Structure 1
Amino acid sequence: MTSINLDDLVAIDVHTHAEISADGHHSLSPELSAASARYFKVHGAREPTIAEMAAHYRERRIAAVVFTVDAETATGHPPIPNEEIAAACAEHADILIPFASVDPWRGRAGARRARRLVEEHGVRGFKFHPSIQGFAPNDPIAYPLYEVIEELGVPALFHTGQTGIGAGVPGGGGIRLKYSDPMLVDDVAVDFPELRIILAHPSFPWQDEALAVATHKPYVHIDLSGWSPKYFPPQLVRYANTLLKDKVLFGSDYPVISPDRWLADFERLDIKPDVRPLILKDNAARLLGLDAK
Structure 2
Amino acid sequence: MTIDVTSLDAIDVHTHVHTSVRETQGPGDGDDRFAAMAGYFKAGEVRKFTVPMIAEYYRERNMAAIVFGVDSMYLSGREQVPGNQEIAEQAALHADVLIPFASIDPHRGAAGVREARRLIEEHGVRGFKFHPTTQGFFPNDRMAYPLYEVIAEHGLVALFHTGQTGAGAGTPGGGGLRLKYSDPMHVDDVAAEFPGLRIILAHPSFPWQDEALAVAMHKPEVYIDLSGWSPKYFPPQLIQYANTLLKDKVLFGSDFPMITPERWLGDFAKIGIRDEVRPKILKENAARLFGLTGEA
Contact 1:28 1:77 in 2 (8 A): no
Distance (whole Å) between structure 2 residues aligned to residue 49 and residue 32 of structure 1 = 18
The yes-or-no answer on 1:18 pairing with 2:20 is no
Match of 1:36 in 2: 37
1:32 shift after superposition: 2.9
Match of 1:246 in 2: 248
Over the residues paired in the alignment, what is the CA RMSD in angstroms?
1.5
TM-score normalised to structure 1 length: 0.96
Distance (whole Å) between structure 1 residues aligned to residue 287 and residue 156 of structure 2 = 13
User: What aligned pairs does 1:13-162 form with structure 2 within 5 A after superposition?
Assistant: 13-24=12-23, 29-80=30-81, 81-162=83-164
Aligned residue type for 2:33: L
Q: SS where residue 48 of structure 1 aligns?
A: coil
What is the aligned residue count? Answer: 292
Mean Cα deviation higher: 35-44 or 273-282: 35-44
Distance (whole Å) between structure 2 residues aligned to residue 262 and residue 43 of structure 1 = 15
1:68 shift after superposition: 0.3
TM-score normalised to structure 2 length: 0.95
Cα pair distance change 1:152/1:260, threshold 3 Å: same
1:45 shift after superposition: 2.2
1:33 shift after superposition: 2.1
Aligned residue type for 1:4: I
Structure 2 gaps of 5+ residues are none
Q: SS where residue 114 of structure 1 aligns?
A: helix
1:115 shift after superposition: 1.0
Moved over 6 A (4+): 25-28
Match of 1:4 in 2: 3
1:219-242 Cα offsets, whole Å, 9 max, x none, are 000000001111100000000000
Distance (whole Å) between structure 2 residues aligned to residue 45 and residue 226 of structure 1 = 15
Distance (whole Å) between structure 1 residues aligned to residue 276 and residue 211 of structure 2 = 26
Distance (whole Å) between structure 1 residues aligned to residue 197 and residue 110 of structure 2 = 18
Aligned residue type for 2:194: F
% identical aligned pairs? 65
Cα pair distance change 1:149/1:12, threshold 3 Å: same
Q: SS where residue 201 of structure 2 aligns?
A: strand
Distance (whole Å) between structure 1 residues aligned to residue 32 and residue 259 of structure 2 = 20
Distance (whole Å) between structure 2 residues aligned to residue 58 and residue 138 of structure 1 = 37
The yes-or-no answer on 1:257 pairing with 2:254 is no
